[in-house]
Amino acid sequence: MMLPLLRHARYVLSENPVTGLAFGLFALFMVAALFGPLLAPYDPLQSNAAMALKPPSAAHWFGTDQLGRDIFSRVLVATRLDLTIAFASVILAFMLGALSGVAAGYFGGWTDQIVGRLADTIMAFPLFVLAMGIVAALGNEVINIVIATAIINFPLYARVARAEANVRREAGFVEAARLSGNGETRVLLGHILPNIMPIMMVQMSLTMGYAILNAAGLSFIGLGVRPPDAEWGIMVAEGANFIQSGEWWIALFPGAALMLAVFCFNLLGDGLRDIIDPRMRT
Amino acid sequence: MTAIPALAVEDLSVEFRTRSGVVKVLEHVGFSVDKGETVALVGESGSGKSVTAFAVMGILDAAGKVTSGRAMFGGSDLLALSERDLAEQRGRELSMIFQNPRTALNPIRRVGRQIADVLVRHGGATRNDAPQAAIAMLKKVRIPDPERRAEAYPFELSGGMCQRIMIAIALACRPALLIADEPTTGLDVTTQAVIMDLIGELAGESGMATIFITHDLALAAEYCDRIVVMHAGHIVEAAPGRALFDHARHPYSAKLLAATPGETVSLEALASIPGGLPDLRRPDLPPCRYSGRCERRTEACDQPLPQRIVGDHHVVACWNPL
Amino acid sequence: MLNLLLSRLATAIPSIVGVVVVTFMLTRLLPGDPAAYFAGLAASPQAIAEIRTKLGLDKSLPEQFVAYVGDLLQGNLGNSLSTGQPVVTEIATRLPASAELTLFALIVAVGIAIPLGVLAAVKQGTWVDHLCRIVTTAGVSLPVFFTGLLLAYVFYYLLQWAPAPTGRLDIFLSPPPDITGFYLIDSLLSGNLETFWSALRQLALPAISMAIFSLAPLARMTRGSMLAVLGSDFIRTARASGLSPRTVVFTYAFRNAVLPVITTLGMVFSFLLGANVLVETVFAWPGIGLYAVNALITSDYAPVQGFVLTMAVLYVTLNLTIDFVYGLVDPRVRLES
């Protein structure tokens, strides 16, 4: 099972070197997220009025911001927060969505009705606007960004999981598990859920980029992350005030990091999809 | 009989480039159709019947490539024409109808318009009188209430009706050659006969040559003057319909005949042909592509295929014919 | 046709009900005391108690819900704390600015994405196709607020082609007479070309930022759908009938391929309405997005709630319209309903 998959993966990678690039970028971001604070040349929160608004130089690769903080260190350190928010929200969305979706597809009936209606209601909102409303209602905390992002991603997971579980409900291996005396919950969690994992993984990597964008967008308009914490969205927001006077570096570097991260996860999602499910290729 | 052929295909070879290698779909295919004559191309699926037709029409997929051959039609070689010139010929001089008529028509365009499009394109009518001409065509293929049906969309019509529309499109400009690719597949038996009769009648009226592609030998024998049997991209036998039914010379034709339920053959006697088609990607294909499945195979079969004339208009490509 | 409209309307009703329930729940989810939240940060205990009675927060949840729905039916979304004005009025005066921006962005996006997608499909595997792939992947990866800032920096600060990224009109010009609320249209209607030109220049950068973001799903869908249609049986028939390549690609293939693209517009609008908030913030565009962001900063909750509700109702209406248009365009849906 694993070996042909690996061979196929190698084939996809050789067909599409861009996916390889995405894996490289991913590794880079992981390093930054894990060791960012150790690698940062300066304290990301340390202000220095004498060094305010300096363009990129040998000492400050990405320049300094209005408080004289080193932007390179701040961009590096922010990786962890941004990726943690995105990962956490994607995992939460997966847990909510996969469980309720699988249950809906497997049991049908009123379970299906409720999950379907819930997903439809969420989809009736422009998603970013709903996320704004949720964070505003729950309170201006980072955890609420995670929750809001998870909620707006929930329908995608629920729908995919529902469709997949529905198809597999009558499959041979499910029947076999049922006949060998497994209860419904056990069949669901022990047999159907693991079976749809590959497709859910693809879904997760495809929504990861969107989750990063969404979280950064929320903090850009002042929700969730609060200064002086380093986070890409809020750093771009701070830099926005200086664009009109020509201090481009304050917004550019965190914005570029953000863009690169989203780009990386989108490519990764496409690549993973080609590896796991070539049928879905467009 | 020294009639001038309407279409003469000579030495036609076609390859498909796929991810897993080059597939030699057709090799040295040659046959001809005379004016007013109906010729059947018969074989199991994958034998290259449709590819032959697509190659002649110049509508092969991008992956398909004609590597040799000529298709002489009205004094010019269709395979050598530019796409532009060929498009001028298609629909006017040579037409094609397809299987699955319901998907072969544009789902969101009124059928009258679809007929009118062809007429206008080939100068059969002007924009103004095209709707009337389209209705006249609908009448010709015996669609009841043609004025109203012209305004219908394909999904509102039955499969048989759609096939009549296809015939109307194909014959709108009175072509000299019609290729009918399994025109009755997917239709019920009574409709099949009606459609076949209609094609035969309209072809007879205008002296049109017809190529009829089918896997159904009985149908071929009933409606066609001559039958060309294809197997794995080769023509294995060509003969007048009666001659083939009376005495098929190629082992494959014989098996195919035995697999065809007819008036004289009972269902118990149905023999299935052993083995499958050979893998056409193999570089070391034997000269006779049937030899792997053949019970009459000898050492002689490793030589290049012969073209043996075994009767009046009866040719077989076999070293050990029946 | 009336049947089609009614059947589509019927499907929108549960969505509207859902939206109303969710927005109601959002106000009750407020951590701590909603009354304190609505009253603002500096409110006295007395003022909070007053607000509580006024909002009916001392009643049971079902009663509160009934009151909420009643208010909505009367068009009452509460008052803004910072201005004291009814939220409905404020949103109504700002809506045209957002609508003009969003629709203009959509037109730009469609104008680029559809030809690009068609070309990529017709010339599959060529440079156009690769360009399409790059544009679509990059397009969805660009944070819209970042694109906006980059465009403003390049075209305003560096090149000075674009006006300052603040508002809908040059500050020395007065807005055109209010006819549709769309400056582009109103200035043309009143024959004021100078105002039109200024409005167009102000609109260009924010609209392009949003268009870049929403291009991707449209181009991707157009390409995929076009490829599927080009490989279908009826295109083979059209080619076999000798129809000219133009007729085959445009009249036969494109008209069929555009149908699924219309359905994608729903998702595109979800993108656009969200992006709208961020872009209005970047370009100080006086629409409802900026209004909501400003309200968020001052913890003025009623405008935020009104904004979320307005956007959702707008979105449901847009989806309804898309569905209806689809039904009109596709005879299979039109004739069967």
Domain containing residue A231: CATH number:
1.10.3720.10
Do residues B86 and B63 lie in contact, with contact meaning Cβ atoms separated by under 8 Å?
A: no
Angstrom distance (rounded) from CA C335 to CA C90:
43
How much is the pLDDT for B304? 85
A53 falls within a domain: no
Give chain B's radius of gyration (CA, Å). Answer: 20
Question: What are the two backbone dihedrals, phi and then psi, of residue B235, each rounded to the nearest 5 degrees?
Answer: -90, 120
C278/A217 touch (CB, cutoff 8 Å), yes or no: yes
Closest-CA residue to B165 (of C234, C230, C253, C334): C234
Mean pLDDT value across residues B34-58:
89
Q: Which of B191, B219, B107, B94 is nearest to B154 (CA)?
A: B107
Query: Residue B180: CB partners within 8 Å, gap ≥ 6?
Result: B96, B97, B199, B210, B211, B212, B213
Distance CA C119, CA C126 (A): 10
Q: Please state, in angstroms and rounded to a whole number, the distance separating the CA atoms of residues B146 and A204.
A: 55
Please answer whether residues A254 and A32 qualify as being in contact, where contact means their C-beta atoms are separated by less than 8 angstroms: no
In the predicted model, is pLDDT for residue B319 greater than 90?
A: no
> Burial letters for C244-276: b for 16+ Cβ neighbours within 10 Å, e otherwise?
eeebbbebbbbebbbbbbeebbbbbbbbbbbbb
| Residue B182: how many other CB atoms lie within 10 Å | 19
A75 vs B102: CA distance, rounded Å: 59
User: Residues C332, C3: contact at Cβ < 8 Å?
Assistant: no
Among candidates C233, C238, C330 on the partner chain, residue whose Cβ is nearest the Cβ of B108: C330
Q: Do C242 and B166 touch (CB under 8 A)?
A: no
Task: Tell whether A184 is covered by a domain.
Answer: yes
pLDDT in tens, B101-155: 889 999 999 999 999 999 999 877 888 999 999 999 999 888 999 999 999 999 9
| Residues in chain C closer than 8 A to B156 (CB atoms) | 335
Q: Which of C232, C234, C241 sits opposite B90 (nearest CB)?
A: C241
Nearest to A169 by CA among A110, A103, A100, A111: A103
- Mutation target to probe the C interface, by most C beta carbons within 10 A, among A140, A207, A221, A281 is A221
- Three-state secondary structure string covering B190-240: HHHHHHHHHHHHHHHHHCCEEEEEECCHHHHHHHCCEEEEEECCEEEEEEE
- Tokens linked to C58: 């001392």
pLDDT at residue A243 in the model = 85
Q: Which amino acid is at B146?
A: P
What average pLDDT does the structure give for chain A?
Answer: 85
Which residues of chain A make contact with C270, given a CB cutoff of 8 A?
126-128
Residue A49 is assigned to a structural domain of this protein: no
Q: Are strands B64-73 and B5-18 parallel, antiparallel or unpaired?
A: antiparallel
Domain range for residue A277? 2-44+60-281
**H helices then E strands: how many in chain A?**
11, 0
Q: Which chains touch B (3 or more CB pairs under 8 A)?
A: C
**Chain A neighbors of C165, CB-CB under 8 A:** 244
Most confident of B304-313, C51-60, C276-285: C276-285
Q: Structure tokens of B114?
A: 């679809």
**Rounded Cα–Cα distance for residues A265 and A269 (Å):** 6
Contact C292 A259 (CB under 8 A): no
- Best C25, C135, C153 residue to mutate vs chain A (most A CBs within 10 Å): C153
Q: How many domains does chain A have?
A: 1
pLDDT tops 70 at residue B196:
yes
Q: Report the residue from C237, C245, C335 with minimal CB separation from B98.
A: C237
Residue pLDDT, tens place only, A195-213: 888 888 888 888 898 899 9
> Which region among A243-247, B79-83, C332-336 has the lowest average model confidence (pLDDT)?
C332-336
Integer Cα distance of A2 and A15 in angstroms: 20
With respect to residue A51, please indicate whether it lies within any of the assigned structural domains: no
Whole-prediction pTM value? 0.86
- Maximal CA-CA distance, chain B: 67
Residues of chain C with a CB closer than 8 angstroms to some CB in chain B: 232-234, 236-245, 247, 251-252, 255-256, 259, 330-332, 335
Strand spans (E) along A155-229: none
Q: C296-305: string of b/e by CB count within 10 Å (b at 16+)?
A: beebbbbbbb
pLDDT band at B274 (very low <50, low <70, confident <90, very high): low
pLDDT above 80 for B86: yes
Interface residue of C145, C218, C318 to substitute, partner A, most A CBs within 10 Å: C145
CA-to-CA distance for A245 and A224, rounded, in angstroms? 27
Domain assignment of residue A52, yes or no: no
pLDDT at residue B111 in the model: 94
Q: What is the pLDDT of residue B266?
A: 47
Phi and psi dihedrals of B22, rounded to 5? -85, 130
* Residue-level pLDDT at C226: 93
Average pLDDT, chain B: 86
Using CB atoms, which residue from A216, A246, A270 is nearest to C143?
Answer: A216
H or E element in which residue B65 lies: strand B64-73
Distances in whole angstroms, Cα of residue A251 to Cα of each of A25, A232, A261: 21, 9, 16
pLDDT attached to residue B272: 60
Determine the distance in angstroms separating the CA of C244 from the nearest CA of chain A, rounded to an integer: 27
Whether the predicted pLDDT of B4 surpasses 90? no
Does residue A41 have a pLDDT over 80? yes
| CA–CA distance, A181 with A189 (Å, rounded to integer) | 14
- Region C63-77 average pLDDT: 89
Contacts of A213 in chain C (CB under 8 A): 143
Whether the predicted pLDDT of B167 surpasses 50: yes
SS3 for chain C, per residue? Answer: CHHHHHHHHHHHHHHHHHHHHHHHHHHHCCCCCHHHHHHCCCCCHHHHHHHHHHHCCCCCHHHHHHHHHHHHHCCCCCECCCCCCEHHHHHHHHHHHHHHHHHHHHHHHHHHHHHHHHHHHHCCCCHHHHHHHHHHHHHHHCCHHHHHHHHHHHHHHHCCCCCCCCCCCCCCCCCCCCCCCCHHHHHHHCCCHHHHHHHHHHHHHHHHHHHHHHHHHHHHHHHHHHHHHHCCHHHHHHHHCCCCHHHHHHHHHHHHHHHHHHHHHHHHHHHHHHHHHHHHHHCCCCCHHHHHHHHHHCCCHHHHHHHHHHHHHHHHHHHHHHHHHHHHHCHHHHHHC
